[in-house]
Amino acid sequence: MNKRNFIKQLGMGLAMVPTIGLAKSILPVTKESLFPKPLKKGDWVGLVSPSAATSEKIQITFAVEALEALGFKVLQGKNLFNRRGHLAGSDQERASDVNEMFSNPDIKAVICIRGGSGAARILPMLDYEAIRNNPKPLLGYSDITALHMAIYAQTGLITFHGPNGTGSWNKFNVTQFEQVFLEQNLVVFENELEVSDDLVIKKHRTQTIYPGKAEGTLIGGNLTVLSALAGSPYLPDFENKILFLEDIGEEPYRIDRMMSTLQLMGALDKIKGFIFGYCTDCSPSSGYGNLNLDQIFEDFILPLKIPAYRGAMIGHEPKQFVLPVGGKVAMDAENGKFWMTSKVF
């Protein structure tokens, strides 16, 4: 071997070292659920922004005041007010806030101020070992789905899909929060039907896709964000899972494409139950040739012959469930409800 080839091969070998090390650090490490430590009033909670920037500072004030009204003291992330393009600072800044909140022993929960876009960019920068060693609740939804999926896949930690810091803290959401976090109840997630002067109740109705009951581990979140993680080490195994999904601002043909992704990667064949929440502003554009959501679920979910329903109070609507991602649940598709079957703390 001549000197040039030797140096070339040596260089290639050294160049692979950090890549190999990184690959080892991001492989899913556990299938067992890791329980966060309980939360109580008076605790410190950390407010972070892993995704998009908050347009006005008053929104951060609202988030702090809401968390204080819930009974907590709030530590704001060092980079909470940063901005880079549409993002709340650089990837490293946003990741460092999440890492610091998990590593800080005084912080008992991590609250995401908003979603938007960009959380997936920081997944390789999260300190999963620190998260595993300091299990605490993480709360958020929409783009925060990326964190829920990655943290569960990498550590087994149960996180919580629910209102962001700047979200709606109406009576329904506050009650959900208190039942899950403070009272630590085995919550039944059943839609709150709203009666009006209409002859028929239309608000928050559920629709059965396929009847039946099932039990499994709950995973899911925003369909767009979740499907974009396909092929990465940041999605957990779908075996024996109850999958919940929601979305916003996506025409049905895009929902169809993303459901195709889940089918092609084999995820749908593994799940034991399916729950779809809201698809806010997902009406098809004008003209012929558009599938509707009913047809999409008939194509992808109905043939599975597993308990499935749609219309659950999950997603981009004022009232929403607080769901334990990685928790054990049972579901009844015909009656449009599901419930926790074991404690999550």
Of 93, 100, 246, 250, the catalytic one is 246
Of 93, 96, 227, 316, the catalytic one is 316
Question: What backbone phi and psi angles, to 5 degrees, belong to 285?
Answer: -70, 165
List all residues 6 or more positions away from 285 whose beta carbon is below 8 Å from its beta carbon. 251
How far is Cα 186 from Cα 183, in angstroms, rounded to an integer? 9
Verify whether residue 251 is a known catalytic residue: no
Verify whether residue 161 is a known catalytic residue: no
Kindly report the number of other CB atoms within 10 A of residue 168's CB atom.
14
- Paired sense of beta strands 273-280 and 241-248, if any: parallel
Phi-psi region of 308 (alpha: psi -120 to 50; beta: other; left: phi over 0): beta
Of 49, 96, 142, 227, the catalytic one is 142
Contact between residue 160 and residue 325 where contact means Cβ atoms under 8 Å apart? yes
3-state secondary structure of 304: helix
Planar angle of CA 29, 34, 39, nearest 5 degrees: 145
Verify whether residue 93 is a known catalytic residue: no
Planar angle of CA 83, 136, 56, nearest 5 degrees: 25
Give counts: helices (H), strands (E), the chain: 9, 14
Calculate Rg over the CA atoms of the chain: 21
**What residues are labeled active site?**
142, 246, 316
